[in-house]
Amino acid sequence: MKSKIFRGEKILIRPVNINDLTLLYVWENNPENKLFTHVDLPISIFQIQELIENQSDIFKYNQMRFIICDVSNNTPLGTIDLYNVDFQIKTAEIGVLIVDPLNRRKGFANESIELVKDFCLNTLALKKLYCFISEDNLISQSLFSKNSFIMKKKPDCIHSKSLNNDLSFKYFELCF
Work out whether the CA dihedral 148, 108, 115, 31 comes out positive or negative. negative
- The answer, yes or no, to whether residue 124 has pLDDT greater than 70, is yes
Nearest CA to 73 out of 3, 11, 4, 9 is that of 11
- Express each pLDDT in 10-45 by its tens digit: 999 999 999 999 999 999 888 787 666 666 678 899
Q: How much is the pLDDT for 157?
A: 66
What domains lie within the chain, and their CATH numbers?
A: 6-130 (3.40.630.30)
Q: Is residue 33 within 8 Å of 27, Cβ to Cβ? A: yes
* Residue of 39 and 102 predicted with greater confidence: 102
Helix (H, G, I), strand (E, B) or coil at 49: helix
Over its C-alpha atoms, the chain yields an Rg (Å, rounded) of 15
Q: How much is the pLDDT for 48?
A: 92
Q: Phi/psi of residue 35, each to 5°? A: -65, -25
For residue 66, what pLDDT band results from cuts at 50, 70 and 90?
Answer: very high
For residue 159, what pLDDT band results from cuts at 50, 70 and 90?
Answer: low
User: What's the rounded mean pLDDT across residues 133-149?
Assistant: 94
- The answer, yes or no, to whether residue 163 has pLDDT greater than 80, is no
- The answer, yes or no, to whether residue 51 has pLDDT greater than 90, is no
DSSP bridge pairs for 95: 81
Nearest CA to 92 out of 52, 67, 61, 68 is that of 61
